[in-house]
Structure 1
Amino acid sequence: MLAPLSTPGGRAALTRLGCLVAVLATVGLLPWLSGRDPALTVLRARSAEQEGTPEALAAIRADLGLDAGPLSLLGSWASGLPRGDFGTSWVSGTDVLPSVVSGLQVSLALMGAALAVALLITCLIVAPVLVRGRGSAGSFAAMLAALPEFLLATVVLLVGGVWLGWLPTSGWLGPQYMILPAVALGVPAGGLLGRLVADALPAVLEERWVELWRGAGVNKARISAAALRRVLPPLVPQFGMVAVGLTGGAVAVEAVFAIPGIGRTALGAAKSQDLPLLQGAVLALLALGLVTGAAAAVVRRRLLGPALRDAGLSLPASRPVRAHPAVPAVLGLVLLTCIGWGLLRDPYTVDTTARLQAPSWAYPLGTDGLGRDVLARLGHGAASTVGTAAAVCLASLLLALAIGFLPSLTTGASDIANALPPVIVGILVAAAAGPGTGGAALAVALISWPPLAAHAAALVQEVRASTFLLTQRAIGASPLWILTRHVLPSVAAPVTRHALLRLPGIALALASLGFLGLGAQPPAPEWGLLLDESRAYVERAPWAALAPAVALALLAGLAVSSAAFAEGGARTGPSRTRLALTALRPRKEPAR
């Protein structure tokens, strides 16, 4: 039964529907949101030499129905979707649907292979916990989960394909072409799934029913199977988020290995301004994410069964990942040293006589294909990337604090935002505003606020249910006084710390967009762009690719170790702080 609109569930459903309609309208209006004349774009796609005369442009508008206006074309596009009519490609002149279906089949095969790799990694991480009955995934699984797919794809291509020559490095001609991409896409997902399950298992294995089963002589295999069934229902939504993340990661992996999947199709359509093909590809990716989330909800309900379906099921508190306080300090010191050293050097000087030089005293990290100093470009790129990430982090924090006081709005909008990986939003923003640093920052900001907003909403509910606020109301304190002196300070401080911990992850997301050509443009020294530029000569000068790759790996390690250290401290602190890095669930009772 659908929830009434007056209830929180009904308002969340209405917000979810409104956000979905807004996303679909944005996709449908891409020809006008781009700021370019759609008829001129079609003319350039069909014939670059033909002059854009008013007569030629008018003929194209009449042929494609562009003269009817944006709203009319949006209605025509939306009405054709149920019939399978996705429009006609502006570049090739062919129907969009066959290209979308073909790319989607390739991507689904890749994601299936990646999911198999992820499950294998998950089993390897979880097995020691089931055997010993204690322990946790540790920092190793967290490090695997933090590795960006585009970085891991570059590394496995360099090692397994170029240096060792074991497997092909590009194309899609047989099962052997699937191995390296599946590893690059599946290892981070397996690290995340393994950590979630392995961190929750020790607490479950200490529950009373496990002790009773052991006393009754139940064998260990059956207890392990029951413990896994106990662990899975609360984690299934996280599994769905991992599957959604595969759709975004597949774009980068398909670009690295030249795989003709739906992600690479969308990326190519955005760069060539083939907006009908881009609309179809993005719509397919969005539908894939939403279907995955819905399937996760169905699986969770099936695992819970009718007895617990309404009440839900939560896990005991998992043990935090152990991280020595010196780890983030050491990683940060190494990064700051490289950045500071590079900032003292010139990143733009071109010296063709010094092309692709190996590391030396003159060039500590070597030179790139134009003879530019890699260390200098690494240092200046870090400064711009971290600065942009800080601005995005601040914008996300302010938005989260603003809508955290509206839990129903937060829940509905977060569901849609979580179904859109940064790469997909980056493709849409690049199609509308063109690639660049500003567009990449906007794309990351649009999807980086949901975790912070969920954190803020949970804290607001907890503070509002506390006893001291009831006392303040009883003595006649005004709502404005309570908000500014009690609620907002109690919420802002933990959420701000949470936002700062997400700063390295935001920087990695910006780097991934730069790597795909959707962010900073040449000659800007941005880390993702540096990694992309070095792929052309990776066999001759691997140090040019290894420098940004190692820097990004250090950044990922800094994100993991900082989060682990903060999580460990949060577990011993007040209940409000404890919410900072744990899986946030709607609270059903006031905090004591």
Structure 2
Amino acid sequence: MRQHLAALLWRTALAVGLVCGIGLLPWLTHTDPALTVLKARSAEREPTPEVLADIRAQLGLDAGPLSLLGQWASGLAHGDAGRSWISGGEVMPGVLRALGASLLLMTVALLVAAVVAGLVCARTLHLGALRRLDGRRAAGTGSAVLAALPEFLVASVLATVVGVQWGWLPALGWYGPQWTVLPALALGLPAGAVLGRLLDDLLPGAFDEPWALAAAARGIPGRRIARQAVRRCLPALLPNIGLFTVGLTGGAVAVEQIFDIPGLGRTTLRAALAQDLPVLQAGTLALILLGAAATGACRLAARLLAGPALRDGALSTLHRPAPPARRVRPVVHGTLLAAVVALGLPRDPLALNTGERLQGPSLTHPFGTDALGRDLLARVGHGALDTLLLALAISAAALCAGVLLGLLPRLSGPLVDTVNAVPAALGALLVTAVAGSGATTPALAVTAVAWAPLAAHTSALLAQERATLHLAATRGLGASRWYLLRHELLPAVLPPVTRHALLRLPGVALALASLGFLGLGAQPPSPEWGALLAENQPYAERAPWAVLAPAAVLALLGALAVTAAGGQRRPGRRRGDRTPEVPSAHPPSLAKEPVGVR
């Protein structure tokens, strides 16, 4: 009881601190809120001292930020979030409408993600049901490429091709169920690929557990065993599913912008850019509450799925010995990526030739040219070094922070929920307010949020691993906590979390570039990969190669990252050499029916 109370107080303190920090955002950035509000209301009006003084009097800015926070909090207790500084309308109805739109989009996107994850794992489930896995992961690099595609690029392609050219579905607006399909696909396809890879990583271990071996020996149908294997793996994935739930709500800013969806992410970001504090604070608070609700539901579901086995320490480990490494695919992907960079480096990425604008691929320009006639191969090659080095550094820092904080779930759990509730763009504004704008601002902003999924994954895997029989036996033999951490827990947790970090490497590269839209990241004429996607996106219909070239290289990076990490597994003995494990006292619900029933 005391531990739950401490966690609740810690979570509340983090939420209050975040809301207060956002309330102080205009003063932290050393900008005049009255001037920002005037520009948002009327860009043509002169900011004279009299006009600014009148705005300060209307908004109560002369009383200071603490007084404004107190007034906002007291009104919130009565269901009143104040009035917008820009439009003058009440904040609460608008935020609730935006939240409703985001929740509907999130629900459909999660359904798409579930279908995609099932397709990614379909071959593994089939081979596992037939007992033909033999230590191999069945998922190919196609899911890695799909996970590496940026959401705004998928959204642009779907809106242009499916919505405009083919006319199958509406591509703009938010007027009914049909308008949710394309944006849900744009959000759900990459998310489902990531979740499918994580689930595919755990399924071989579930099929190798004693209950599965015993069920197969007794003649239980393979399809039924496969269903229970998915159920066995879900508790380790539910924390990441909770993070995806909040991320699909508050982090879908680019998709909401492309499809003109009045969602909560876009509403909050627009309020942040205009320094409309009442809307910004109410939107952020809604995201935090949504994050807390999603996390609580996922934890409850994990306890229900794991049952008393998690409490009694009666689980088997899901992490298998390392299979023979497959070096062909990563060598092929790495060679192709290196060839693209090597061919692009000798070329000039800044040379303009307006007479060759938007030219298609040719011998002179293998990747074609952009809207200014610049060679795309040169820009992709020169942008590789900055993009790859910075993304690798951020991924390494996020991995270290995620593992270290994941070892302390009572401390990191509420922190993960709070950090994940903040969209990356809003996090960048907060980092800029504290650290100032500069070359390091994008890296700090992305690092500040990139560790959260890895910490949640680490905590979930540790909870599962601590409940295993072999760990209980080792602890009973007198092993110390340090020995268990060094020789049992970390070797089981680090390989899957490392693969997870590598799977997110292309997303880190894109997050860096997306900050350029706010003036915080790479700016033209920088050839950074994500910036290339952003600046060439308006020409996707006329010159698709201008977008496909950097997108293909980014997808190749994702395939290289995943295939290179595919052989990273817990070192140990082969199946025939290991000590037999005691069957779980609490296997999945398969054991609730007679064993011989088909």
TM over 0.5: yes
2:387 to 385, 388, 391: 385
Deviations 1:225-268 (A, max 9, x none): 54444443343223223323323552222223232222222333
* 2:47 equivalent to 1:52: yes
User: What is the CA deviation profile of residues 35-66 of structure 1, one whole-angstrom value per residue up to 9, with x for unaligned ones?
Assistant: 21111111222232333333332222222111
Q: Which amino acid aligns with 2:2?
A: L
- CA distance in 2 between counterparts of 1:198 and 1:395 reads 25
Residue 286 (structure 1) aligns with = 288
Q: What pairs up with 1:177-576 in 2 under 5 angstroms?
A: 177-210=179-212, 223-305=225-307, 307-308=308-309, 310-311=311-312, 316-318=317-319, 324-393=326-395, 396=398, 408-420=410-422, 422-426=424-428, 428-429=430-431, 438-450=440-452, 501=502, 503-514=505-516, 519-565=521-567, 567-568=568-569, 570-572=570-572
How far residue 444 of structure 1 moved from its aligned partner, in angstroms, is: 0.7
Q: Which residue of 2 aligns with 1:108?
A: 103
Structure 2 gaps, min length 5? 575-598
- Mapped partners of 1:161, 1:339: distance in 2: 35
2:118 to 117, 123, 127: 123
Q: CA deviation at 1:295?
A: 1.3
Shift of 1:445: 1.2
Distance in 2, Cα, partners of 1:530 & 1:149 = 15
Structure 1 gap ranges (5+): 474-485, 575-592
**Residues 315 and 373 of structure 1: is their aligned pair in 2 closer, same or farther, counting only changes over 3 Å?**
farther
Could you say if the C-alpha distance between residues 524 and 466 of structure 1 is closer, same or farther in structure 2, counting changes exceeding 3 Å? Answer: farther
Specify whether residues 497 and 254 from structure 1 end up closer, same or farther in structure 2 by C-alpha distance, changes over 3 A only.
Answer: closer
More displaced stretch, 47-56 vs 98-107: 47-56
User: Which residue does 2:594 correspond to in 1?
Assistant: none
Distance 1:155 1:26 in 2: 37
CA gap 1:453/1:292 in 2 versus in 1, 3 angstroms: closer
Equivalent residue letter for 2:271: A
Does structure 1 retain, via aligned residues, the 8 Å contact 2:399–2:498?
no
The size of the alignment, in residue pairs, is 550
CA-to-aligned-CA distance 1:109-158 (integer Å, 9 cap, x gap): 11111112122223334555555514455234444444432333234334
Tell which has more relative contact order, 1 or 2 (C-alpha 8 A, sep 6+). Answer: 2
Aligned to 1:154: 156
Give TM-score, length-normalised by structure 1: 0.78
Partner of 2:110, secondary structure, is helix
Greater displacement, 352-361 / 128-137 = 128-137
2:3 matched residue in structure 1: 3
Distance 1:107 1:496, change over 3 A: closer
Q: Note the C-alpha offset of 1:221.
A: 5.8
Distance, in Å, in 2 between the alignment partners of 1:215 and 1:573 is 23
Question: What residue identity is the alignment partner of 1:90?
Answer: W
Give me the whole-angstrom Cα distance separating, in 1, the residues matched to 2:224 and 2:312.
26
Amino-acid identity (%): 50
Q: 1:185–1:249: 8 Å Cα contact kept in structure 2?
A: no
Judge which range, 260-269 or 223-232, deviates more: 223-232
Cα deviation, 1:380-403, whole Å, max 9, x if unaligned, reads 332332343345346547766987
How do 1:15-94 and structure 2 match up within 5 A?
15-94=10-89
**Rounded Cα–Cα distance in structure 1 between residues aligned with 2:496 and 2:110:** 33
SS in 1 for 2:524: coil
In the superposition, relative to structure 1, how do residues 41 and 102 fare at CA in structure 2: closer, same or farther (>3 Å)?
A: same
Q: Give the match for residue 580 of structure 1.
A: none
Match of 1:481 in 2: none
State the secondary structure of the residue aligned to 1:124: helix
> Any conservation in 2 of the 1:150–1:512 contact (CA below 8 Å)?
no
Contact 2:357 2:370 in 1 (8 A): yes
Distance in 1, Cα, partners of 2:236 & 2:454: 20
- How far apart, in 1, do the equivalents of 2:555 and 2:187 lie? 16
Calculate the aligned-residue CA RMSD, in Å.
4.3
* Residues in 2 aligned to 1:530 and 1:4: alpha-carbon distance in whole angstroms: 48
- The structural deviation recorded for 1:495 is 12
CA apart distance, 1:405: 8.6
Distance change >3 Å, CA 193–CA 437, structure 1 → 2:
same
Which residue identity does 2:152 align to in structure 1? F
| Residues 168-177 or 285-294, more deviating | 168-177
